[in-house]
């Protein structure tokens, strides 16, 4: 292992496969799909999107910080899920962010769409009743507040950034955290992303872009578990899904000084812009990104 590479101390996630890390791994290894019928909102007749990857409800009993009173103002689900995965990742890492450590802990946590659900709900309420929204509506909808809530929750006061790169947001967050450590700006980084995009206008928009799965006209829909299987000839679009994840990384020196065990390091990374199309990837820059990552890893 290279002494200058960031090491991975802990991680956690919630996904359509479950809210327990071990359970998710077992289901994934068994080839199970977390895709099912869309139930997040009443479906209008003829609404094109009928399947989604939904995260099951969390039992907040073991987590006092997630109880209704604590989360009363944070109505968008991405906040409670972000805090949950950060809490559990730190616990797995064995890391306590004490006041002397906090200034050297970076937060690189973001979301592709943020709490757009809170904004849409507030707009509907305003149009219907004329009443102004509650004062936490804007913080709920601001993408930077995902990282902000993580920092407030953990006490981390190092560099903070919420970099949005659509479906690559989680990967970008990890790279940004690694860069902070590599540049000597932080010893630890809480990296991650959370998205809960099962919102009616968002799904409708993906459908009109021919992005979200819907069956061919005149054909019966596939069973949810068979929708959007990689390399399938019947694949027609992707399945919009929910999820949140956190990876705690640190410099090797910090891990050694604090007696924190690790088994994996972040060997290399790279970032490129496609500069090509609004949604289609550019094979040339994709290949270059992979090649530069390998070169950076040595």
Report DSSP state, residue 238. Answer: B
CATH of domain 7-265: 3.40.47.10
Model pTM score: 0.94
Domain assignments of the chain as residue spans, ordered by start: 7-265, 268-298
Nearest by Cα to 16 from 204, 201, 296, 244: 244
Helices 77-93 and 144-154: crossing angle, nearest 10°? Answer: 40
Distance of CA 67 to the CA centre of its chain: 21
Residue entry with tokens 């290949």 = 287
Radius of gyration of the chain (CA): 20
Alpha carbons 79 and 73: distance in angstroms, whole number: 10
Task: Give pLDDT tens digits for 42-85.
Answer: 999 989 999 999 999 999 999 999 998 889 899 899 999 999 99
Alpha carbons 270 and 256: distance in angstroms, whole number: 26
Q: How confident is the model at residue 96 (pLDDT cuts 50, 70, 90)?
A: very high
């Amino acid at each position: 292992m290279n002494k200058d590479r960031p090491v991975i101390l802990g991680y956690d996630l919630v996904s359509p496969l479950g809210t327990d890390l071990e359970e998710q791994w077992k289901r994934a290894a068994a080839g199970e799909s977390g895709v099912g019928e869309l139930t997040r909102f009443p479906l209008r007749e003829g609404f094109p999107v009928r399947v989604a990857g939904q995260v099951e409800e969390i039992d907040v009993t073991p987590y006092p910080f997630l109880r209704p009173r604590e989360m009363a103002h944070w109505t968008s689900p991405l906040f409670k899920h972000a805090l949950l995965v950060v809490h559990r990742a730190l616990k797995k890492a064995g890391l306590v962010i004490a006041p002397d450590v906090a200034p050297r802990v970076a937060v690189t946590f973001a979301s592709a769409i943020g709490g757009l659900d809170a904004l849409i709900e507030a707009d509907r309420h305003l149009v219907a009743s004329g009443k102004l929204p509650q004062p936490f509506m804007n913080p709920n909808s601001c993408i930077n507040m995902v990282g902000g809530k993580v920092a407030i929750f953990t006490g981390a006061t190092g560099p903070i950034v919420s970099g949005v790169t659509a479906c690559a947001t989680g990967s970008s967050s990890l790279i940004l955290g690694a860069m902070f450590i590599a540049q000597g700006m932080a010893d630890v980084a809480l990296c991650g992303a959370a998205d809960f995009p099962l919102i009616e206008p968002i799904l409708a928009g993906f459908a009109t872009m021919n992005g979200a799965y819907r069956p061919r006209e005149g054909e019966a829909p596939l069973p949810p578990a068979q929708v959007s299987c990689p390399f399938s000839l019947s694949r027609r679009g992707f399945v919009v899904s929910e999820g949140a994840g956190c990876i705690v990384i640190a410099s090797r020196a910090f891990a050694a000084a604090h007696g924190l065990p690790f088994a994996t390091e972040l060997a290399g990374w790279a970032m490129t812009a496609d500069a090509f199309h609004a949604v289609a990837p550019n094979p040339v820059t994709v290949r270059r990104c992979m090649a530069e990552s390998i070169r950076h890893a040595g």
